[in-house]
Amino acid sequence: MIGDQIAIFVPEGLDPAHLPHSFALLKSPTIAEPLTSTWADQPSFTCSGPEFRATFTVNKDVDLYGGGEVTGPLRRNGTLVRLWNTDNYTYAKDSGSRLYQSHPWIMGVRRDGSSFGLLFDSTWKAEMTCAETITYTTQGPAFPVIVIERPTPQGVLQALADLTGHMPLPPRWALGYQQCRYSYEPDSRVREIAETFRQKRIPCDVIWMDIDYMDGYRIFTFDGKKFPSPKALNDDLHRLGFKAVWMIDPGVKRDPGYKVFDSGTQADVWVKNSEGQTFVGSVWPGPCVFPDFTRPETRSWWSGLYRDFMAQGIDGVWNDMNEPAVFDTPDWTMPEDNWHRGGGELVPGPHRRYHNVYGMLMVAATREGILKANPDKRPFVLTRANFLGGQRYAATWTGDNASREEHIPLSIPMSLTLGLSGQPFNGPDIGGFADFAAPDVWSRWIGLGAFYPFSRGHGVKGSNDKEPWAFGEKVEKTARVALERRYRLIPYLYTVFRQTSVTGLPVMRPVFLADPKDVSLRGEDSAFTLGPDLLVVPRWAPSPRLPRGDWPEITLVEGDLQDPDQPSLRIRPGSIVALGRVVQNTTEESLDPLTLLVCPDGNGRASGDLYEDDGDGFSYQKGNYLLTTYQAETKNGQVVVTVKSTEGQRPRPVRKTVIVVVGPRATSSTESTGL
């Protein structure tokens, strides 16, 4: 046993006291006590030639979830996942069974709601089948399996976060809507996009720069003609209330005289081929070399590159192509026998061993570099490739989807499954990345997209424009309403993100978490909750299964109930949800007035939290925050709201509070200045 109802099973031949380095776990597991005599479920291990296999038998009525970034249904019974991070455009390769990330993790929920988790602690190329026998097969050596047992799935997810790390609290601006394209160029086009958002009063917080800002796709450079002054551009964006995120890929152009290539060559940081020579592969710049992030010296060199880069006024970094993608190989990545030299806790080994954690190691070094450059700001990193536990370093998006109607419902179980695999800060490209977007597809997607944890619109080069105003007035209105809904919810969303950073529970949750014993909810793929208190039901969802009880539909802005592309939004009986004003970006003051949406339960009671801090920086870690728990009781037909408790040293702002009671006990709104 390595914790409360957490067991580690070590196959014969591995020394439990000297296990291989774990990338998934925060620290090496320490066996505290022998396995209890009542422990029932245990894996078995077999070796067959170059493969090692762990199997785990479950009852046929157990519902299986997890596996990280996958296509297909939320319920994973009967599915196969290939764990080999893959640049998979539109998810077409191998029918989407291998995508950009690898999460060797499965959660099972029994009929009575009790649950277990299986963590297969290996990074090697693998396959995972989910059936009555769960099988994890690697093309590598023996590995341990960690088994978590808990009375509820929530308990399993909290234990997973304790083992693999909790998502750091992001800056509040990262919760706003974000606009991207491959690519906005030149810098005048970036300014035009930003100014149009403000002129049209469509809320937005972030503009993204794709690879065309670079000089010949050389990372950490800027095209002198198209982006002559990135600092001036970022300053202009900041004046308009925007943050700026810029892309960095791992491939370094093999170009003597190019500073990054020369310094990396001098420091001997590149991945080697099987013959010990520097591996060269083709990516956007042409022939490229690739940092060997298994080496501490490489990670230190990489982190140092961000000092001057971030000094240009850059707010966040986007690490793409970090599976790593390589264009001129059969499988679009490095050969499996490429060689990583390791160092410190990491032993030398072939790419087959380190491929699935290449992106994770990269973003860990990126985060460290950003933090060194801006020590008083919370780093924001977005990554395409990652591994179980990578939530410690970066948010993620689900890669190169397509502007197709079927990719809208597909996105929901993808995001939910990532959340059930420890990666809560995620979302797809709203509107679809590949292909031309039809107005009705984009409109439906932005309505849903307002409720993803990570909310960003994107589009590929050569496709039609995919900004909110690009499809005519009707779609523009839908986009404005959708994003105004999101921005009213920012106080609640930020509170949920804070809860997630503490508990490990997802931001976007499958409805079965609202009632784990209701087996009818286990396969619901369309409806979901945001945190514990809001239920999102797309109006196009076919006969969704919803949690028991009367979750009243609520309205946040004018027109959100009449537009069929806006999902129905409902509130949990017994909850209090904090809302702000509609603002154009998250730096604007939105909590004066503060609105408390109160939905009493059958006993006339309700409660809910509001978390407040500076929105960036780390003073909250020293107590500069305010966590308020509100409670409501019904007395003599009146719903009375009071402050039940507070936490933190941040003083309560003097502001007006509007109380709106919804549900069967709904009353007209009242105001207060003491809440």
Residue 151: alpha-carbon gap to chain centroid: 26
Instruction: Check 323, 435, 484, 613 and give the catalytic one.
Output: 323
CB 208 within 8 A of CB 245: yes
Tell me the one-letter amino acid at 566: Q
Sign, CA dihedral 474-475-476-478, equals positive
Of 663, 659, 662, nearest in space to 672 by CA: 659
544, 547, 552, 555: CA torsion to nearest 10: -60
The amino acid present at 606, given as its one-letter code, is: A
Residue 351 in tokens: 């790419």
Q: What is the DSSP string of 63-81?
A: EEEE-SS--S-SS-TTEEE
**Is 323 among the catalytic positions?**
yes
- Say how many CA atoms lie within 13 Å of 416 toward its Cβ: 28
Q: ∠375-379-380 over CA atoms, to 5°?
A: 160
Q: 343, 407 in Cβ contact below 8 A?
A: no
Helix then strand then coil, in percent of the chain rounded to 5, is: 25, 25, 50
Cβ atoms of 356 and 283 within 8 Å: the answer is no
Query: Which residue's entry shows tokens 């230190």?
Result: 300
Set 320, 429, 565, 609: catalytic member: 320
Length of the chain: 675
The residues that bridge with 642 in the sheet, in sequence order, are 631
612 a catalytic residue:
no
Sign, CA torsion 127/385/357/451: negative
Q: How distant, in Å, are the alpha carbons of 518, 526, 531, 600 from that of 515? A: 6, 16, 13, 18
* Cα R_g (the chain), whole angstroms: 25
Q: Say which amino acid occupies 337.
A: D
Q: In whole angstroms, what is the distance from residue 233 CA to residue 207 CA?
A: 11
Residue carrying structure tokens 């006590």: 33
- Is-catalytic flag, 320? yes
Instruction: Return the structure tokens found at 605.
Output: 């009671």
- DSSP code of residue 588: S
Question: 527: exposed, middle or buried (C-beta count within 10 Å: 0-12, 13-18, 19+)?
Answer: buried
Which residues are registered as beta bridge partners of 396? 383, 426
Residue with tokens 């986007």: 318
Catalytic residue (one of 127, 315, 400, 560): 400
CB 68 within 8 A of CB 388: yes
Residues designated catalytic: 320, 323, 400
